[in-house]
């Protein structure tokens, strides 16, 4: 594919942007009473309302033209067919295979991968049931009470986010996640745990990640400090990886290893054995509901027409703001405490995927690529940074996600949740309509303020509005709904990467920092530098050594 800027629709979108950028959402809603209905799509219990975006019918037509000119439908087919669309690593991209039902086939290099996928799921069922029912004993015969997942990036954020999100479905097993190389993370997590009743899941696609292997070694030392007998490790350490050799070299029996495959990207791996912590928390039946929800979103993405296709619309709207309004960030606000870690999870999914500076063929990109993704749960964000959203000078397109029903009805008539809902809807309404000078003056007059104060305060109180947002309203945060929501975001990332013509499935940028850390490590302990550093790094090293 050629540069996106050379596509006819790109130029047309630039012209169109110049024509409509001053249109106000207030007017667009006033002129079209059907707007909310027309600019909404449902998938099962999820409604995606994208009507509060700065778009007209023509905008949408042009964005859809862009998707067609970028051959998005062909790329979707390529992904689902197992073609090696991760070009720099020459790998297929098949997280969609992990959630396909039994009996389906997906071929990689002429081999159907589905029997293996389901064989691993079967093992996950058997293992998780034995741990959850207490049939699996620790080295002293006591059942497991605490599970510690040791992993980082995709081997941590996905399972951690989902495990926290599905807390209402947990059994009595306690789940913990250790990722940071900072010893504090491991020490504080293990404080109060008993080695006799603790199970460690060492999760690493490569089984070569410094943080994970170091934490796993220290966890083993903590365990052996009490257990003494190395044979006891087999009852308490399980590995999840694509790298059997490294697992065995680490000292974990391959009988205790759950495999996955190089066609599963780390940040897309929660659906694989990397999700074992989720399964231990909620049970295999619920995990299968999560997979089924993701599969429903996959089918929607593969088969729905582009104009009714939620990930396609999400991706195109993001491009509209990123590339034509020059918005450099995108915010995600889950109005659900259980989704506290969704923004952190999406940061890796989106920014590691689409933070790229070259196209698939290695030539420089012609346009800005992935946005800075950020967010926090509502209503907390409202009392922290929403001021900038309402009156700052930067445009921040945002997604609001909210369940109609709470898992924790609290107060008379579930008043907590009703307030949460009211706040979520109120924020998107406020962003859309803002508050005009006339409205501000009328309010202050009604409140009896002096004319001088009204004149002084009016400019401070005006909100321009016209700030775009999407709303995902869903019935309740169930495993199935969560699976669908995550998969919709995964596919949105794919849509954008396809249009920007980048490889969304590699992550070469993180290599350099890892290498430099390896070089610096001996120098922290006083060894001479093998290569000179810049003067800032030199000086900081000297100071560190002095204070160690
Ligand atoms: O450093 C980035 C990264 O490679 C991520 O892509 C990945 O999710 C994470 O590190 C952990 O990698 P692994 O699962 O191989 O330990």
Cβ atoms of 394 and 387 within 8 Å: the answer is no
∠ CA 10-47-313, rounded to 5°: 10
315 in helix, strand or coil? helix
Return the pLDDT at 307: 98
The end-to-end CA distance of the chain, in Å, is: 54
Mean pLDDT value across residues 161-174:
98
Among the listed residues 331, 245, 246, 250, the one whose alpha carbon sits nearest the alpha carbon of residue 237:
250
How far, in Å, from the CA of 185 to the mean position of ligand 1?
Answer: 18
- Identify which of 215, 266, 268, 275 to mutate to test ligand 1's pocket (most ligand atoms within 8 A of the CB): 266
The DSSP bridge pattern shows strands 46-49 and 469-474 to be: antiparallel
Return the pLDDT at 292: 98
What stretch of H or E contains 237?
Answer: strand 237-241
Among the listed residues 340, 358, 402, the one whose alpha carbon sits nearest the alpha carbon of residue 49:
402
How far, in Å, from the CA of 509 to the mean position of ligand 1?
Answer: 12
* Residues classed as catalytic: 352, 383, 514
- Identify which of 149, 155, 275 to mutate to test ligand 1's pocket (most ligand atoms within 8 A of the CB): 155
Average pLDDT across the chain, whole number: 97
Among the listed residues 209, 220, 211, 206, the one whose alpha carbon sits nearest the alpha carbon of residue 252:
220
Mean pLDDT value across residues 389-399:
98
For the CA of 212, the nearest atom of ligand 1: 16
How far, in Å, from the CA of 267 to the mean position of ligand 1?
Answer: 8
Cβ atoms of 427 and 382 within 8 Å: the answer is yes
**Could you read off the pLDDT of 34-88 as tens digits, one per residue?**
999 999 999 999 999 999 999 999 999 999 999 999 999 999 999 999 999 999 9
Return the pLDDT at 336: 98
List Cβ<8 Å contacts ≥24 apart for 264-267. 264/94, 264/95, 264/98, 264/205, 265/86, 265/93, 265/95, 265/154, 265/505, 266/153, 266/154, 266/155, 266/205, 266/507, 267/153, 267/154, 267/157, 267/158, 267/348, 267/349, 267/352, 267/353
∠ CA 527-531-533, rounded to 5°: 95
**Could you read off the pLDDT of 417-473 as tens digits, one per residue?**
999 999 999 999 999 999 999 999 999 999 999 999 999 999 999 999 999 999 999
**Could you read off the pLDDT of 106-121 as tens digits, one per residue?**
999 999 999 999 999 9
Mean pLDDT value across residues 226-254:
96
For the residues of 155-216, what is the DSSP string, one character each? Answer: GTHHHHHHHHHTGGG--S-EEEEE--SSHHHHHHHHTT--GGGEEEEEE-SSS--HHHHHHH
**Could you read off the pLDDT of 496-545 as tens digits, one per residue?**
999 999 999 999 999 999 999 999 999 999 999 989 999 999 999 999 99
Q: For ligand 1, atom 8, which residue shows the shortest CA distance? A: 154
Cα–Cα distance, 528 to 17 (Å, whole number): 57
Cα–Cα distance, 181 to 152 (Å, whole number): 9
Cβ atoms of 492 and 73 within 8 Å: the answer is no
User: What letters, b where the CB count within 10 A reaches 16 and e where it falls short, cover 463-497?
Assistant: bebbbbbbbbbbeebbbbbbbbbbbbbbbbbbbbb
Return the pLDDT at 484: 99
Which protein residues are within 6 Å of ligand 1, measured from CB?
A: 152-155, 204-206, 209, 212, 266-267, 352, 507, 510
For the CA of 511, the nearest atom of ligand 1: 1
Return the pLDDT at 276: 98
Return the pLDDT at 2: 73
The packing angle between helices 535-547 and 511-524, to 10°, is 50
Residue 451: asked if its preceding bond is cis (omega within 30°), the reply is no
pLDDT category at 401 given cuts 50, 70, 90 is: very high
Cα–Cα distance, 274 to 204 (Å, whole number): 8
User: What letters, b where the CB count within 10 A reaches 16 and e where it falls short, cover 290-312?
Assistant: bbebbbbbbebbeebebeebbbb
Return the pLDDT at 145: 98
Percent of the chain's residues with pLDDT above 70:
100
Return the pLDDT at 349: 98
Indicate if the pLDDT at residue 264 is higher than 90.
yes
150 in helix, strand or coil? strand
pLDDT category at 1 given cuts 50, 70, 90 is: low
The residues with which 240 forms a beta bridge, in sequence order, are 203, 258
Cα–Cα distance, 74 to 445 (Å, whole number): 60
pLDDT category at 407 given cuts 50, 70, 90 is: very high
């Amino acid at each position: 594919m050629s540069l996106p800027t050379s596509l006819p629709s790109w130029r047309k979108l630039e012209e169109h942007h110049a024509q409509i950028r001053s249109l106000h959402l207030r007017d667009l809603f006033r002129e079209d009473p059907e707007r909310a209905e027309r600019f909404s799509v449902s998938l099962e219990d999820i409604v995606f309302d994208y009507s509060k975006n700065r778009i007209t019918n023509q905008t949408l037509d042009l964005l859809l033209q862009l998707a067609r000119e970028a051959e998005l439908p062909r790329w979707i087919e390529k992904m689902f067919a197992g073609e090696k669309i991760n070009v720099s690593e020459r790998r297929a991209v098949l997280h969609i295979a992990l959630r396909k039902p039994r009996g389906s086939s997906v071929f990689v290099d002429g081999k159907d991968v589905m029997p293996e996928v389901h064989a691993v799921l079967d093992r996950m069922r058997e293992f998780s049931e034995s741990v959850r029912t207490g049939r699996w004993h620790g080295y002293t015969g006591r059942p497991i009470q605490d599970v510690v997942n040791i992993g980082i990036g995709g081997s941590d954020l996905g399972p951690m986010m989902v495990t926290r999100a599905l807390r209402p479905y947990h059994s009595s097993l306690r789940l913990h996640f250790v990722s940071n190389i900072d010893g504090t993370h491991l020490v504080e997590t293990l404080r109060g745990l008993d080695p006799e009743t603790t199970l460690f899941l060492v999760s690493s696609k490569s089984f070569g990640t410094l943080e994970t292997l170091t934490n796993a070694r220290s966890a083993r030392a903590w365990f052996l400090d009490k257990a003494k007998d190395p044979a006891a490790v087999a009852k308490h350490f399980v590995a999840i990886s694509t790298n059997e050799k490294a697992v065995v070299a680490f000292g974990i029996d391959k009988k205790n290893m759950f495999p996955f495959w190089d066609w599963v990207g780390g940040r897309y791996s929660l659906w694989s054995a990397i999700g074992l912590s989720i399964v231990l928390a909620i049970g295999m039946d619920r995990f299968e509901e999560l997979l089924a929800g993701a599969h429903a979103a996959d089918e929607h993405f593969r088969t729905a027409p582009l104009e009714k296709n939620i990930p396609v619309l999400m991706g195109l709207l993001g491009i509209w703001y990123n590339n034509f309004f020059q918005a450099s960030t995108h915010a995600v606000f889950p109005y659900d405490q259980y989704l506290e870690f969704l923004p952190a999870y999406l940061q890796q999914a989106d920014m590691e995927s689409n933070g790229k500076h070259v196209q698939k063929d290695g030539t420089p990109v012609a346009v800005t690529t992935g946005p800075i993704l950020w967010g926090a749960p509502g209503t907390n964000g409202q009392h922290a940074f929403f001021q900038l959203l309402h009156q700052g000078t930067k445009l921040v397109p945002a997604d609001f996600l909210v369940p109609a029903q709470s898992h924790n009805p609290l107060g008379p008539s579930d008043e907590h949740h009703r307030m949460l809902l009211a706040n979520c809807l109120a924020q998107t309404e406020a962003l859309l309509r803002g508050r005009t000078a006339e409205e501000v003056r009328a309010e202050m007059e009604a409140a009896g303020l002096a004319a001088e104060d009204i004149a002084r305060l009016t400019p401070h109180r005006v909100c321009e509005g016209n700030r775009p947002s999407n709303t995902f309203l869903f019935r309740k945060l169930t495993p199935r709904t969560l699976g669908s929501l995550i998969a919709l975001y995964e596919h949105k990332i794919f849509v954008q990467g396809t249009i920007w013509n980048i490889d969304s499935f590699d992550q070469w940028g993180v290599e350099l920092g890892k290498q430099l850390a390896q070089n610096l490590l001996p120098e922290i302990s006083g060894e001479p530098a093998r290569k000179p550093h810049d003067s800032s790094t030199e000086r900081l090293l000297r100071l560190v050594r002095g204070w160690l």
